[in-house]
Chains A and B, each alone.
Chain A
Amino acid sequence: MSTEQQEAIRETTAVLGGRHTSASVTDKIGSTVLVRPIKPGWLVGFGIGFLLTMVLLFAVTWLFIKGVGIWGINIPVAWGFAIINFVWWIGIGHAGTFISAFLLLMRQDWRTSINRFAEAMTLFAVACAGMMPLLHLGRPYYFYWLLPYPNTMAMWPQFRSPLVWDVFAVGTYATVSLVFWYMGLVPDLATFRDRARGRVARAVYGVFALGWRNSVRHWHRYRMAYLLLAGLATPLVISVHSVVGLDFASAILPGWHSTIFPPYFVGGAIFSGFAMVLTLAIPLRWAYRLQDMITLRHLDNCAKLMLVTGLIVAYGYVMETFMAWYSGNPYERYVVVNRALGVYAPFYWIMIVCNVLITQLLWFRRIRRSTIPLLIVSLLINVGMWMERFVIIVTSLQRDFLPSSWNVYAPTVWDWLIFTGSIGLFITLFYLFIRVLPAIAMFEMRELVHEADRTAPAPARVWAENHDA
């Protein structure tokens, strides 16, 4: 076999490119935070995120002063941008948990270099999501009424309501994601403690590393606990978006009252989540030259999962339409017609183009393996999934049973400011994360290098040996 052929094999199959050792992966990932100075590119990105976060703060302050009347919501469309954004953000989070938990259980070694930042993405997306229903409360200072606590009114939350299920599902999801992420970080924080130069950095990383000393006795228990957490997080992630789906399905509105909602929502969540993973991974690997750790195989695999979940979503659209016709229910039929031809038809068709048509490009290997087209496809899917939530929420509410209660919904500038502001918050948190914490799990990469050494000659090793001379 010629060297070129071997290189071609390496390119297509490797989860770890180039020649890496325990020391070199640690150096490379660690130096991004500990050695590399802040570059103008980072400052610009962070600056944009920070500016938008300030916009969010401004819009939220005005909201708290004036109330939800500044938004476009009214009767009948009482759920506007806040709920659209909530569903969109929480869905994005799902890919992070899917990568870190489900792929761990399936022993997929390619998860290793993308799980850390995907988990961080989950946390930040859940933070953006969790904020939305609270802002939507109208009287947000009574948010704690959502929780069951002993009170003089002897009142309890309505445990039979999916909206209360949401509080528990999202609360559990946020907590478990944080624990999972932090636990994965502990050994890496210990590495940072051991390598940081400044006294303050050593102390701060040291405190959060909890005195981790890489003892095999510790690793033994650590691995078991991590595996159990993965086993718990996997059904959890399915349950969270199912409950979000039930928020709609348990209402009697045409277009919402459907048993397909929970699985269709979970598929859509993972679909949009992988789109966001790629939206973050492609610039990240370029900016920090991580092409040998986040390889084309990672992008290819994420794209394949995006294609699969995209087809599930497309099936959902088809089934929704079919069931509306098959049920013979005039209200259900009208919702479908109204979505495709009514006031919000452009939103519907953008959704179909982005989520169904554009996704079919991922059948082509060339697209899955070219970064720029893949990035564009991912961005369009992000847009498409936001449109999907808009279509589901607004069109059903806008025209339900009685024409006398029909009305048109239009978002105001405050809706848009809070939406773009939440994207700013997400960007800010992500930029801070890549400068403060290891964006790739270092100890898992060391393990991967060790496994590769042991199971040599893998294509990567063969290539490496040939290049020794």
Chain B
Amino acid sequence: MPEERTSFGLMAEFESPEALLEAVRQTRAAGYRRFDAYTPFPDDELIEAMELGSTLIPPPVLLGGMLGGAGGFFMMWFANVVHYPLNVGGRPLNSWPAFVPITFELTVLLAALTAFGVMLVLNKLPMPYHPVFNVPDFERASADRFFLCIEASDAKFDLSATRAFLNTLHPRLVLEVPP
């Protein structure tokens, strides 16, 4: 059985995105890997500094779209050619040009639902409880404060050493995050 952790990690609070950006760069340089930053808005520089790699979202969306389109076309082809063929004056049963609009709509529908669904799944949302919300002041991450949390599961994590490291980054304050 894994040992019960006494804390989720250490949270440093910053007043500006620039300070957080610098902190993230130094944290990576110091060898930490399991950490996360919290900001009130998406910031390209920060995303770059975190070196997050690919989002993994586009391929499933492409797949979803292709499935929607192929499935939609198959449905119409099956209905008109196999299941209920209706000869109207010798016109072709597989009248594909008339099937284009619905094929397109279902492509978009499935691709869009996949984009939203995959975003939720990869972000592990909805998540009813998360330890970071135990930090007082953390609600300001959704308005005007910037946070950096080094998690206890990081191989390099050591409560006192990591706290000392975070204090060198000029945070407003550093707090322990209860699990």
A interface with B by C-beta (< 8 Å): 21-23, 26-27, 148, 154-156, 159-160, 162, 164-165, 168-169, 171-172, 175-176, 179-180, 183, 187, 190-191, 193-195, 210-225, 228-229, 232-233, 235-236, 239, 243, 246, 443-444, 446-447, 450
Contact = CB atoms under 8 A, between A and B. Distances in A.
Interface of B: 17, 36-43, 46-47, 50, 52, 55-58, 61, 65, 75-76, 79-80, 83-84, 95, 98-99, 101-102, 104-106, 108-109, 111-113, 115-116, 118-120, 122-123, 125-130, 132-133, 139-144
A160 B80 CA distance: 10
A216 B57 CA distance: 16
B10 to A, nearest CB: 16
B37 A215 contact: yes
Contacts of A156: 79-80, 83-84
A164 B99 CA distance: 11
Contacts of A212: 125
Nearest to A153: B84
A224 B118 CA distance: 11
A228 B143 contact: no
A148 B36 contact: no
B142 A214 contact: yes
Contacts of B65: 232
A218 B102 CA distance: 33
A194 B143 contact: yes
A335 to B, nearest CB: 26
Contact of B40 (A214, A222, A233, A235): A214
A199 to B, nearest CB: 15
B170 to A, nearest CB: 19
A222 B123 contact: yes
B116 A229 contact: yes
A233 B143 CA distance: 29
B101 A243 contact: yes
A214 B83 contact: no
Contacts of B105: 165, 168-169, 171-172, 236, 239
Given A172-B106, A179-B116, A210-B126, 4 more contacts: A26-B142, A210-B125, A216-B37, A220-B52
Contacts of B119: 183, 221-222, 224-225
Contacts of A21: 144
Contacts of B115: 225, 228-229, 232
Contact of A159 (B43, B99, B139): B99
Contacts of B113: 175, 179
B11 to A, nearest CB: 12
A257 to B, nearest CB: 16
Contact of A228 (B52, B61, B102): B61
21 contacts: A23-B143, A23-B144, A26-B143, A155-B84, A160-B95, A179-B116, A183-B119, A194-B140, A213-B141, A215-B38, A217-B123, A219-B43, A221-B56, A221-B122, A232-B115, A236-B105, A236-B108, A443-B40, A446-B40, A446-B144, A447-B41
A223 B133 CA distance: 23
B142 A191 contact: yes
A217 B56 CA distance: 12
B38 A213 contact: yes
Given A160-B95, A229-B116, A232-B108, A216 B143 contact: no
A444 B108 CA distance: 25
Given A154-B84, A159-B79, A220-B52, A168 B36 contact: no
Contacts of A155: 84
Nearest to A453: B17
Given A225-B116, A229-B115, A450 B55 contact: no
Contacts of B127: 210-211, 213
